[in-house]
Chain A
Amino acid sequence: MANYKKISTRILVLGAVVIVAVGFWASRSSNTERNAVADDNVALADFRSTDIEAIQRGEYVMRTADCAACHTQGKNNMAGGYPLATPFGTLVSSNITPDRDTGIGQMTERDFFNAVRNGQGSKGFLYPAMPYTAYANLTDQDMHDLWAYMSTVTPVNHAIDENSAMAFPYNIRLAMLGWNMLFFDNKAFDGDADGADRGRYLVDAGGHCSVCHSPRNALGAEKSDHYLQGGQLGSWYAPDITSNPHVGIGDVSVEDLAEYLGTGTNGQATAAGPMAEAVEHSLQYMSEDDLMAIASYLKSVPASKTKAHTALDASLPSMKRGALAYEVNCAACHGVEGEGMGELAPALAGNHALQGEPNNAIRALMVGARAAATHTKLTGAGMPSFAWKMNDQQIKDVLDYVRNSWGNAAQPVTPEQIERIRVGMQARDKMIDGY
């Protein structure tokens, strides 16, 4: 019954979306006129750029756009096959090597522009898991360079069925036309991408930061009025990266932020999970100037409304239990005053991400976490799992303690949040609870 209801709701939603969309067929969302700057004659499989500088610039664009994160699975560069779990079903990334049969070898440069900037691919509309909503901002020059780079990628024959594991009606590509109508802001970047607005350009175009760091609505579109204020991403939470001084990056210096982005850690913020991938595949390849530009721009993003909390009273019995558990289990690496151990274990005192949404901290205690390993910081910090020796209450106690000590202040964690992650991550139960 519930299933029937869900399906009929989906049909209604789809119906509404299609009807609205058809009415505005020629609307702005599907217009690809600005891609006329691209060549529409030579297919990628027949093209091999000889412009070394363009290829190198294109490789840099590929890094900043982090294409490899989704399109490289295993050792075949850009051959696709990476499964992305979405609330609407599992989507598999495409083969974007120049292979004629299974890749994008038959695309012209114009087709390529249409796909990357407008979400219109050779099989129909792309799903917005491919961040064309952000790539729409990529400049013509960056797109030409990216095309030059793509021509140098080795063709790999690897057939991908992208959307067969998507739930109805989301397995119908045409539905994305309606989605685009409602949510796709189809326009070029409105600033100086290589000058004054470089930071914003990197964040909003290639970097597609908001794809994870902005919350999404029920149809999977970013809430633009919550830009970069944090969003759930599978089992991880992409934290608030607005200039909010409590839970965002308002209190972090541009230099520290750039160090974090380029190396994976600044001794306090430490990239793990999908952000570690972003650092390893993309950010660590960026120039110092670009990283500083990103950091400066992020610090200018209007702060979220999240207010500072009042710290829990250290004399509470639960805080005392937390303090003892911290001393026994955590202090060896994270420091007796939460000062951390440089790049090997993040400082917890004054750690802003720790004081916001507790998802990642619970997750780290439950199943451990692995920080990014980069060319400059070779050893990614490793956080072991504590699921085997702490029950939900003990995890709550120690988290409430670290989130409310040494000047930190945050909302108490709820047992439901902990239970949800223990179950969701299939973490083991505490080995013995009473003997």
Chain B
Amino acid sequence: MNRREALKSLSALIATGAVAASARASEMQGYPSNLAVADEFLPRPAMDGGKMHVLTDETALKTVTAVFDRLIPADDLGPSASEAGCIVFLDSQLADRFGQGAQLYREGPKLPGADELTQAPQFIATPRERYETGLKALEAYAQQTDGAAFADLQPDRQDEILQGMEEGSISLADDINTKAFFELMLQNVREGYFSDPIYGGNKDMVGWKLIGFPGARYDYRLYADRVGQKLDLESISLIPLD
């Protein structure tokens, strides 16, 4: 940094300081009197009672439901992923910021070897687009290899295909990172099963009850000294029903 740049940055710093000081002064005139939580900080619940916004294609909906229900099947531990609302959860997420990849850097260029360099697969496509192409390719794969819809295959055969995707032995299409698509679905089905019920999944807090998670509580001082005891705390949603 030369002398001119140093002076420029210094004056910029002073200018910022002055602005910040005056902004702070006006804040201190009085506390904000409106203590209602601003809308942008409130949770964004899935509120349409299961109506689909993104997963509107019937085949795609059936395919992803079949996948999710193999990843978390109904058994004596609890209901399946779709019974617990994970499809509603997924649709709601895909319709909102997650689906838009709002937090991801998606400007090009994506150079060959980028995935290896960053040690994680990189995507220009949004998660929403990846579901759209991925589910279509999975269905096409099932039609091609088994002559039937993925959703109509036997559970064993579905598991076989999913395992192939996970291990990387199956490639759904040249332009699809099949392993990464499997991992995306696995991540999202877990999130749906264990997120707060207000987001559509974890219906009746089945996921939380399964693992004994007490939910959206603030304070554990009441229990801090009960080390090693089974607490059996009731699970609480962020917005409890009653």
Contacts and interface: CB of A to CB of B under 8 A. Distances in A.
A93 B45 CA distance: 45
A387 interface: yes
Interface residues of A, number: 32
B70 to A, nearest CB: 26
Contact of A367 (B36, B217, B221, B242): B36
- Kindly name the residue among B34, B222, B239 whose own CB sees the greatest number of chain A CB atoms within 10 A: B239
Contacts of B46: 435
A393 B242 contact: yes
Interface in A313-354: 321, 324-325, 327-329, 331-332, 336
A382 B31 contact: yes
B216 A328 contact: yes
A435 B35 contact: no
Interface stretch (A30-38, A200-208, A425-433): A425-433
A384 B49 CA distance: 29
Contacts of A433: 241
A427 B221 CA distance: 31
Given A435-B46, A435-B47, A336 B34 contact: no
Interface SS of chain B: helix, strand, loop or mixed? loop
Nearest to B236: A328
A331 B218 contact: yes
Contacts of A373: 31
A370 B35 contact: yes
Given A328-B218, A431-B43, A389 B238 contact: yes
A435 B237 CA distance: 12
B33 interface: yes
Given A332-B218, A393-B242, A431-B42, A382 B35 contact: yes
A435 B89 CA distance: 12
Contacts of A362: none
B219 A332 contact: yes
B239 A431 contact: yes
Contact of A324 (B35, B197, B234): B234
Contacts of B43: 431
Contact of B221 (A336, A369, A394, A430): A336
Contact of B219 (A327, A370, A380): A327
Given A321-B242, A388-B42, A394-B242, A435 B36 contact: no
A379 to B, nearest CB: 9
B31 A380 contact: yes
A384 B37 contact: yes
A368 interface: yes
Interface in A384-435: 384-385, 387-389, 393-394, 427-428, 430-435
Nearest to B43: A431
A383 interface: yes
A306 B87 CA distance: 56
Contacts of A387: 36
5 contacts: A368-B34, A368-B36, A369-B35, A385-B37, A388-B42
Given A428-B36, A431-B239, A435-B47, 9 more contacts: A321-B242, A327-B219, A328-B236, A331-B221, A332-B218, A370-B31, A388-B36, A431-B45, A435-B45
